Chain A
Amino acid sequence: MEYLLVQILNGVQLGLLMFLLAAGLTLTLGIMDLVNLAHGSLYMMGAYLAWTFIGWTDSFVLGVLLALPATFALGVVLEMVVMRRLYARTHLDHVLATFGLILFFNELVRVIWGPAGKSIAVPPFLANTVEILPGVPYPAYRFALIVAGGVVALLLAWLVARTRMGMLIRAGASNRRMIGALGVNIELLFSLVFGLGAVFAGLAGTIAAPIGSVKIGMGDDILILALVIIVIGGIGSIKGAFVAAMLVGQIDIFGRTYLADLLKLFMGPASASAAAPAISQVLVYVLMAGVLVWRPTGLFGQRS
């Protein structure tokens, strides 16, 4: 029972992390209709920048706090230099250009930080465990991730639903030419939204680093998972991204833990532990295929 609870929490933690990544992506996709494959590169850049800043300041919190404005600036510059020219183009051009950006950023990291991966240590004040229930310890850092992820998710929900900028974002998502005609500075809005998406991606990369590793291409595979999440949730829907991220988080953890045990009943333990992560990934894609067959525009997407 305790084991189950811990695994569910792990799933929630992974889901929140994926939500941070997917939220930025769904903002740019929903409002600007831009396929940004380089979103995973921003995730990677966030982690590497944080690694550098943590080295400078000798403090995890300060390092993360410095990495956020840095990824925001990077996002805004990227938007002004490249993305801005892509809005009027086809999705195929978006794919091509942002695919080129992935190659660029992966190589840039190799030049600046070298080919070897880096690691960010769990900050000392979060290195112990907390008791979520009497007698059930849980790593404090993962617990902090859940809290931080939850807070950021709420913040984003508040920003989109309650603020003027959020109102413009929602209006832009449904009809961007109209809000331009109403006198809103779309260029500025788009730059800000892209920067915001970059911050979320960078934050996800940074806070995921202590439980994973900081390495070249770290954003490439997770980007696909984030794309799957926004497709399941419906493009442009923050709520959809949240629900889908939670679903995918649970499926992934289920696959890594219970599926391996289940498979051991009818195959060797070595094959079972090799097959289980692969099958859990496959399950995520099966879920997506199922959702799209049932609803071609995702769970919360707008029907056209």
Chain B
Amino acid sequence: MIGALRTPRGLFTLALLVLLAALPLLTQAFDQRYVLSVGTRIVIWSIAAVSLNMILGYGGLVSFGHAAFFGVGGYAVGILSANGIASGWIQWPVALLASATWAAIIGALSLRTRGLYFIMITLAFAQLVYYVGSGLDAYGGDDGLNIGRSRFNGLINLADKASFYWLCLVLLLATVWFSGRLARSRFGFVLRGARSNEQRMTALGFPVFRYRLAAFVIAGTFGGLAGILLANEGAYVSPAMMAWMKSGDLIVIVVLGGTATLFGPLYGAITFFALEGALKPMLDLVHKGWGEHWQIVFGPLLVMVALYARGGIDSLLGRRHG
């Protein structure tokens, strides 16, 4: 652990974490409250990206429907809140259970397929959730639903921006820690083994399907956690939070940061949102009014990443060890 700090990667990560931890103080000192809300969103998206990385990175299973868990987690909170159950002690466990259950169902069905079919079926199941959400007329339909934030009486006030940010950050660190433990455990090695050679793992007697299903459920549960936080961040849920483009964004974040790496998803999320924030003013500088068309640069940038940047940002920090 101490040794890891001497490497560029360790130092970089440590500096980043210190910066993240101090963000509410900095934004208060410089009176930049908008930056804090962007930071909160980055942290929440990082949780989702870390969870996606568990199956996409370590498992090698390209799930194209991870944003559905934003929706399942978020809507579980939203629906309970709309029915007068405001306590987070009830909302959060129910939302996590709902995400895990949904992950178990679609995982059991999707994992029967391989490759391209897997990409498509996970995408289709996410669309299914999306359309269910937009068909829920009693809960806002396409327009979404304004909700009250979860209440943890006396413990923490989620409406306070700084407290909520720190809560999200702690949950992110817990997720990263769990993901690291998972990757280095026997379970993680089986998962990675199945990624490189499924037949061999099966021949060795490992029930690959069950391992993958377990990983899928774990990833889905953490994805649901991100959904819970996203719903509380804006006090609002809508089908838009689980549109398929969001699943695409999550894949972009994971690949951008570096698949199957511990902090890669976090680097990816920061870069993703920072690019969005930086491209606009940069293009406006070139020509007034070009800033709003930042995606015309961002799109080809993604193509470049896919073509030339194997290993993502994480690989820029030198070779991995351990």
Report which A residues bind B (CB closer than 8 A): 29, 35, 37, 82, 85-86, 89, 91-97, 99-108, 110-111, 220, 224, 227-228, 231, 235, 270-271, 274-275, 277-279, 281-282, 285-286, 288-289, 292-293, 296-298, 304
Q: In the docked arrangement, what's the CA distance between A220 and B127, Å? A: 12
| Residues of chain A lying within 8 A (CB to CB) of residue B135 | 274-275, 277-279, 282
B109 touches A297 (CB 8 A): no
| Residues of chain A lying within 8 A (CB to CB) of residue B113 | 292, 296-297
Q: In the docked arrangement, what's the CA distance between A75 and B259, Å? A: 31
Determine how close the nearest CB of chain B comes to the CB of A103; give it in whole angstroms.
4
Top 5 closest pairs, chain A to chain B, by CB:
A278-B135, A100-B302, A104-B299, A103-B299, A97-B306
A292 touches B138 (CB 8 A): no
B251 touches A99 (CB 8 A): yes
B131 touches A282 (CB 8 A): yes
B62 touches A91 (CB 8 A): yes
* Chain B contact residues: helix, strand, loop or mixed: helix
Residue in contact with A297 in the complex, picked from B117, B127, B302, B305, CB distance below 8 Å: B117
Q: In the docked arrangement, what's the CA distance between A227 and B251, Å? A: 18
Most interface-central of A228, A286, A289, A297 (chain B CB within 10 A): A289
Residue in contact with B293 in the complex, picked from A94, A110, A278, CB distance below 8 Å: A110
Determine how close the nearest CB of chain A comes to the CB of B295; give it in whole angstroms.
4
Report which B residues bind A (CB closer than 8 A): 56, 62, 64, 109, 112-117, 119-121, 123-125, 127-128, 131-132, 134-135, 137-138, 141, 244-245, 248, 251-252, 255, 259, 293-296, 298-303, 305-307
Q: In the docked arrangement, what's the CA distance between A110 and B56, Å? A: 33
Determine how close the nearest CB of chain A comes to the CB of B107; give it in whole angstroms.
12
Most interface-central of B132, B134, B301, B306 (chain A CB within 10 A): B306
Residue of A nearest to B302 (CB): A100
B293 touches A292 (CB 8 A): no
Query: With A95-B62, A231-B120 given, is the CB distance from A107 to B295 under 8 Å?
Result: yes
A92 touches B251 (CB 8 A): yes
Using A91-B115, A97-B306, A104-B296 as known contacts, list a sample of 4 further A-B pairs with CB atoms less than 8 Å apart, ordered by residue number in A.
Answer: A37-B248, A86-B307, A91-B62, A277-B135
Query: With A29-B116, A231-B117 given, is the CB distance from A82 to B109 under 8 Å?
Result: no
| Residues of chain A lying within 8 A (CB to CB) of residue B114 | 296, 304
Determine how close the nearest CB of chain B comes to the CB of A26; give it in whole angstroms.
11
Determine how close the nearest CB of chain A comes to the CB of B245; give it in whole angstroms.
7
Q: In the docked arrangement, what's the CA distance between A61 and B255, Å? A: 44
B121 touches A100 (CB 8 A): no
Query: With A103-B299, A107-B299, A110-B293 given, is the CB distance from A274 to B109 under 8 Å?
Result: no
